């Protein structure tokens, strides 16, 4: 009996040392201490042993059982450690240099946005922000764009469902809906509502329109808005600002030109064209870049600033357009595809 037990212990030790997976461990466990296991079989032989030898043998068997159990526990620990290691993957030496190609760079749109903000900060503008989910009031009504204006049509504007979980949009206009802002001009209203002039803000941001994507359209693009309200602001100030911005950004040979236009929130209103023929990639004489005008007195009075005291100008333009012009990019979709071959050119 003693030799059988010793042999079993030795064999268990050798078997369990080689185990490295859970099924193998379970099989070994059953083979040794299961109901039909080898150790169990030896224990069953106790009955046939002479009475006087039983206490000593019982002690010996318990010893062997303890030994086998310790071997099983150790094997289980090894299996668990192996499982965790497999999940975690190979060891990483965090002190090794990165296999990456180098530091990241700013997206071309970010670069143009930051450069424009830098240029405008120099002449006293502060950066203002506004939400992309807007109310009809901030995006249209307060900007003197009436309910039947085509821009408000569901074909052009993304409206949120009326029962969107935002609660009532407005106490005064229970019918008002939430929408994705179609232009950054909504930030004009948010800023004007914050306090009295003088106001001088620039607000870059994302805007949304129901456009089908092609080389020059995207349902989601970026604009940059400027608003200046003070005493005795004139069209001359507006023209001077635009000349300053675009010569700063594109070089002193750049020219700007106004074409009469209509916007509900400015009077008079203009479209702004740029001439940047000196840029190698531009072969048109004039390129439309944005809209502008003198803030309509209706807008000022509407937000509680007396239009007999205050006057101002506003200007809005597309950032993609400007970046395309600046870098000679001929398809707006490049901006959104995150293709490294494109992005690396703006390092």
Q: Which residues bind ligand DAH (CB under 6 A)?
A: 183, 185, 225, 263, 266, 290-293, 314-316
Whats the size of the chain, residue-wise? 347
User: CB 189 → ligand DAH: shortest distance, Å?
Assistant: 11
The DSSP call for residue 205 is E
User: CB 101 → ligand DAH: shortest distance, Å?
Assistant: 38
Whether the bond between 268 and the residue before it is cis, its omega within 30 degrees of 0, is yes
Rounded Cα gap, residues 347 and 335, in angstroms: 14
Contact 78, 20 (CB under 8 A): yes
With respect to ligand DAH, which residue has the nearer C-beta, 60 or 261? 261
With respect to ligand DAH, which residue has the nearer C-beta, 208 or 263? 263
With respect to ligand DAH, which residue has the nearer C-beta, 12 or 202? 202
The DSSP call for residue 197 is S
Could you write out the DSSP letters of every residue in 298-316?
HHHHHTT--TTT-EEEEEE
User: CB 263 → ligand DAH: shortest distance, Å?
Assistant: 4
User: CB 227 → ligand DAH: shortest distance, Å?
Assistant: 7
With respect to ligand DAH, which residue has the nearer C-beta, 5 or 241? 241
User: CB 283 → ligand DAH: shortest distance, Å?
Assistant: 25
Selection from 337, 334, 314 nearest residue 267 by Cα? 314
Selection from 207, 202, 183, 181 nearest residue 128 by Cα? 202
With respect to ligand DAH, which residue has the nearer C-beta, 12 or 207? 207
Where do runs of H (alpha helix) occur along 251-289? none
With respect to ligand DAH, which residue has the nearer C-beta, 162 or 206? 206
Where do runs of H (alpha helix) occur along 211-339? 235-250, 297-302, 319-327
Phi first, then psi: give them for residue 19, nearest 5 degrees. -80, 135
Rounded Cα gap, residues 311 and 68, in angstroms: 93
User: CB 214 → ligand DAH: shortest distance, Å?
Assistant: 18
User: CB 293 → ligand DAH: shortest distance, Å?
Assistant: 5
Coil, strand or helix at 83? helix
With respect to ligand DAH, which residue has the nearer C-beta, 169 or 314? 314
């Amino acid at each position: 009996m003693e030799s059988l037990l010793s042999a079993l212990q030795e064999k268990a030790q050798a078997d369990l040392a080689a185990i490295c997976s859970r099924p193998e461990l379970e099989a070994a466990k059953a083979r040794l201490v299961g109901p039909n296991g080898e150790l169990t079989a030896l224990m069953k032989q106790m009955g046939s042993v002479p009475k006087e030898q039983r206490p000593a043998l019982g002690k010996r068997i318990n010893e062997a059982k303890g030994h086998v159990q310790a071997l099983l526990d150790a094997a289980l620990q090894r299996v668990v450690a192996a499982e965790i290691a497999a999940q975690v993957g190979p060891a990483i030496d965090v002190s090794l240099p990165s296999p990456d190609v180098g530091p990241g760079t700013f997206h071309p749109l970010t670069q143009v946005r930051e450069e424009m903000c830098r240029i405008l900060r120099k002449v006293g503008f502060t950066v203002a922000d506004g939400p992309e989910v807007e109310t009809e009031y901030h995006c249209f009504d307060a900007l003197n764009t009436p309910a039947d204006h085509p821009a408000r049509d569901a074909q052009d504007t993304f409206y949120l469902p009326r029962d969107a979980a935002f609660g009532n949009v407005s106490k005064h206009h229970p019918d008002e809906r939430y929408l994705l802002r179609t232009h950054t001009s909504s930030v004009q209203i948010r800023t004007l509502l914050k306090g009295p002039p003088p106001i001088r803000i620039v607000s870059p941001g994302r805007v949304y329109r129901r456009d089908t994507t092609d080389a020059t359209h995207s349902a989601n693009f970026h604009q940059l808005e400027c608003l200046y309200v003070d005493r005795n602001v004139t069209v001359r100030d507006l023209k001077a600002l635009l000349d300053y911005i675009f010569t700063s950004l594109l070089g002193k040979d750049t020219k700007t030109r106004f074409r009469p236009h209509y916007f509900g929130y400015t009077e008079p209103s203009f479209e702004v064209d740029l001439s940047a023929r000196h840029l190698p990639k531009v072969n048109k004489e004039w390129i439309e870049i944005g809209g502008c005008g003198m803030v309509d007195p209706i807008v000022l009075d509407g937000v509680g600033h007396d239009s007999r005291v205050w006057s101002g100008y506003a200007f809005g333009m597309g950032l993609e357009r400007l970046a395309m012009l600046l870098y000679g990019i001929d398809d707006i979709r490049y901006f959104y595809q995150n293709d490294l071959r494109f992005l690396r050119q703006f390092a």
